[in-house]
Amino acid sequence: MKTELLIVDKNVDNLDIYPQITQAATFLKENEVVAFPTETVYGLGGNAKSDEAVLKIFEAKGRPSDNPLIIHISKKEQLNEFVKEIPATASILMEKFWPGPLTIIFQKKDGVLSDVATAGLETVAVRMPEHPLALALIDAAGLPIAAPSANRSGRPSPTTAMHVWEDLNGRVSAVVDGGPTGIGVESTVLDCTAEIPQILRPGGVTKEQIEAVIGEVKVDPALTNVQAAPKSPGMKYTHYAPDAPLFLVKGSRDFIQQLIAEKRHEGLKVGVLTTEENSDYYEADVVQVCGQRAQLETVATALYDSLRSFNKTDVDIIYGEMFRNDGVGHAIMNRLLKAAGHKIVEEL
């Protein structure tokens, strides 16, 4: 399959002048799949009403088809077509955080969306992205768009079109290049069908921000207990992993450097994932900086690119620093734990 690279400047106000958007929308109408930028990561979109299109998403990603997808819309009115009801809590959240990096789970209407897209569940996860190209593309297609991250399953999510190209060239019809994404980690997924809303995946909107608007929210036990069964899109299988094994380290810089030195003495090439504050401290074969510890938003933005960067090196093992587990740090640690397969080395 030939993959078209469609470059669009997201900062231009009048997106109607871009035939690339029309071309990408035509692919979607024809049940082909297209990668496009959102404010979180690049998504791999297909017609959410079509089994054919959704199966092409799973095939391109190499993703198990029992994993539900998030449905992307460009107007709130689109919900009425495939959602049974909009709870009052969801309405408040939509007013505050849409468009933006918050996915809300609703009870779905039968017979509208592809059952493959929702993995046969009675619920559907929906968000309205805050990215002009994503909104323009959904508008032009006139369809709800099912879209997981636009990467091969298991690899770090893509935050640039080049990441997508590396993973999916020849597997999708087009990649819409709108430059690097901003937030860098996926949307927060919140189940509003429960009596007390529950976070199923931490992301670009924090628990603290949500609670400031609607009060108490719960957190899915699967986020802290690896034995529990996750209910959120994208959280059932191992994700985000670089090629070399990643170990997170709970301990001091001295302890991390000790681990590095031991492995190098064994003849292994060692990488370390760190922040600007500590980057000059470590003596490793590859020192990869993923933002500033004092500003965790910069870590979220750079995280996936940093993990992917190790794949361009010949390191045998990677040690990664850990971060506080609140605010956006909750999302960062969730992704790092998944990337490491929950392997943690703890200083005694």
Binding residues: 40, 63, 67, 72, 123, 127, 147, 149, 157, 187, 201, 240
**β-pair partners for 199:** 190, 219
Cα–Cα distance for residue pair 336/45, rounded to 1 Å = 25
**β-pair partners for 42:** 37
Cα–Cα distance for residue pair 230/250, rounded to 1 Å = 25
Residue type present at position 216: E
Name the 3-class secondary structure at 288: strand
Which parts are annotated binding residues for L-threonine?
40, 72, 127, 147, 187
Cα–Cα distance for residue pair 76/98, rounded to 1 Å = 9
Name the 3-class secondary structure at 188: strand
Q: Using DSSP bridges, classify how beta strands 123-127 and 70-72 pair: parallel, antiparallel or unpaired.
A: parallel
Cα–Cα distance for residue pair 85/8, rounded to 1 Å = 36
Q: Are 257 and 281 in contact (CB under 8 A)?
A: yes
Name the 3-class secondary structure at 198: strand
Please, is 218 exposed, middle or buried when counting C-beta atoms within 10 Å of its C-beta (0-12, 13-18, 19+)? middle
Compute CA distances 9 → 12, 138, 192, whole Å. Answer: 6, 17, 35
Which parts are annotated binding residues for ATP?
63, 67, 123, 149, 157, 201, 240
Cα–Cα distance for residue pair 66/51, rounded to 1 Å = 13
Cα–Cα distance for residue pair 92/90, rounded to 1 Å = 5
- For residue 99, whether the previous peptide bond is cis, meaning omega lies within 30 degrees of 0, is yes
Q: Are 147 and 134 in contact (CB under 8 A)?
A: no
